[in-house]
Amino acid sequence: MRRKTIGLAAALALVALAPAAVMSQSRDAGVTEKARTQGMAEAPAVVAAAGLNCQVVDARLIGKNENRRAKTSTSYYEVDCQEGMGFAIEAVAGGATSAYTCLEASAPTEDGKPSALACQLPGNQNPQAELAKLAAKDGVTCPIINSRFIGRSATNSFFEVACEGGASGYILNTSNPATPDATVDATNCLIYDQADTNIRCELGDAASRLQVVDQMAAADAKSCAITQRRFVGATTDGSTYFEAACEDGKGYIYKVSTAGQLADSWDCARALGVLGGCTLTDAREAATEQAALYTRLSKAAGFDCDVEKYAVFPAQGAKDVVELVCQGGKPGGVGVFELNKSTIHNCAYAPIVGYRCGLNPESSAYLTLTADLKKHGRDSCVVSAQRYLGKTADGSAYIEVACADGLAGYMIQYKQDPISSVEAIGCAFAKGIAGGCKLPGNS
């Protein structure tokens, strides 16, 4: 689902095109059989002239205006299409034919009076249902309970829709005329609430839309008496992100799925990489406190690391998986923190258990790999490059290493639980293992 903010060109108001003659004859006429019979007879040609993709299932003649001075004759029709929204159509004899959705045609006049061109056919009385189908094309699945026409440009139509519960709404940008085969951009109203644009959401207010933060905080089961709320942003998969500041000084960022459910959460100390992180809470102070916690947990697990910075892996149930960068250039690792249990894998071994260090330089693993070579009598090789090959059917893992002296390197075999090196095989003899050595100088 794409998310973008769109400016709006000058909107056209259909009611301004309806002359008094049409108003007088259509306002109280209702849907007569005569109007329907004439409408059904003339609508197919009018729909074709307007360029609409519409299979007419019902139609009526709204009215006709003869302008003797301008020597023009204009007829107005309402059509109900088998698919998509209904339309009011203005057909100028010998001139242009224009189509307007029923939402446009039914909008009150500037003085608040009912529109003379309001749609009255039974099939055109639920525009929300048709807008919901359009919105669904761009991933919006919430029940739509209200809608309004915003305006149009030469090529685009803009609508606002409000979802059940009032917690969310969207601006729909679609074609002009708005037909069911058109592409649709659905943009969350929260984006427009903080954007400098002439499009605004009016069917709800920003404060109500931000109440979703309270729902996510309750679903997250963390203790947070919310003092401030903020819409953080949206991503291309349709997920939305919110920040909550808590009374105790803590804060969180919540990820909300397109279905409106809590998908993930991060405390501000771990959310530095999530769309810019927290701004309502002092994230730097929180991150410093969190680094101190990881230092204590790491040392308790036998990994001597004064944590300088860290990066959190995606949530894995009750596990807190974090890459740790140690002060003083010490080799870092990946910590797997669980309740009453902590396991630290140095960056050389992290790929064997399914993780890869990104904050630590690759060279931080070389010291460990060089030591593993020495265990197997390969004393002349100081590791200068590495490549994780993966695991074989028997569970063995292999890491290829290159040597700083430029001589051929080795394939190191590892077993798991606990991880330890089993053998160091010269690349000349490792051609049958996972495709053999590939690092420069080894092949």
Mean pLDDT of successive 10-residue stretches along the chain, which has 443 residues: 39 40 51 92 94 93 83 90 93 90 86 86 92 89 88 88 80 89 88 78 87 90 87 83 88 85 84 81 75 90 91 73 90 89 92 90 92 95 94 90 94 92 93 88 87
Beta-carbon contacts of 44 under 8 Å, excluding residues fewer than 6 positions away, are 56
254: left (phi over 0), alpha (psi -120 to 50) or beta: beta
Report pLDDT for 193. Answer: 83
Report pLDDT for 16. Answer: 41
Report pLDDT for 281. Answer: 82
Report pLDDT for 414. Answer: 95
pTM over 0.75: no
In angstroms, the CA 130 to CA 278 distance is: 38
Report pLDDT for 316. Answer: 66
